[in-house]
Amino acid sequence: MRKNSIKNTRVNGEVQKELSQIIQSGIKDPRIHPMTSVVSVEVAPDLKTCKAYISVLGDQQAQEDTLAGLKSAEGYIRRELAHNINLRNTPEIRFLLDQSIEYGVNMSKLIDDVNRKSTEEEHD
């Protein structure tokens, strides 16, 4: 896989910032969970497509509802992105669920449980 150029890295950062702004303040869909964040964005070098990795703090149903809400608002989000960022092409956005934050929280909880059990065994 090719390493991202400086221009592509800048475009990714700018699109990520604008997407998170649009999702937080621009969309009024009740399906979209208020604790939704844009973890990372990968814009193709030709600026035609974009993968946006979304993290939702909530249960499985909240994650599915948020993805459905974002997919239905895709046209609005793309239009707002075109207004806010001056790119040659406005990328077509695909929203993907990112489980890494949830995975990290679960691993941290498991480590805390193991540490708690080991300190309880030492005191016995």
Give percent of the chain with pLDDT exceeding 90. Answer: 48
- pTM for this predicted structure: 0.77
Residue 66: count of CB within 10 angstroms of its CB: 24
- 2 pLDDT more than 70: no
Cβ neighbors of 35 (< 8 A, separation 6 or more) are 56, 57, 58
Q: What is the pLDDT of residue 124?
A: 67
What mean pLDDT comes out for the span 68-93?
91
Alpha-carbon dihedral sign for residues 113, 118, 121, 123: negative
Cα atoms in the Cβ-side hemisphere of radius 13 Å centred on 21: 12
* Segment 90-102, tens digit of pLDDT: 899 999 998 777 7
Residue 56, both tokens: 């939702």
- 69 pLDDT more than 90: yes
Q: In which band, very low, low, confident or very high, does the pLDDT at 5 lie, cut at 50, 70 and 90?
A: confident
Q: In which band, very low, low, confident or very high, does the pLDDT at 1 lie, cut at 50, 70 and 90?
A: very low
Q: What is the rounded CA–CA span in Å between residue 12 and residue 7? A: 9
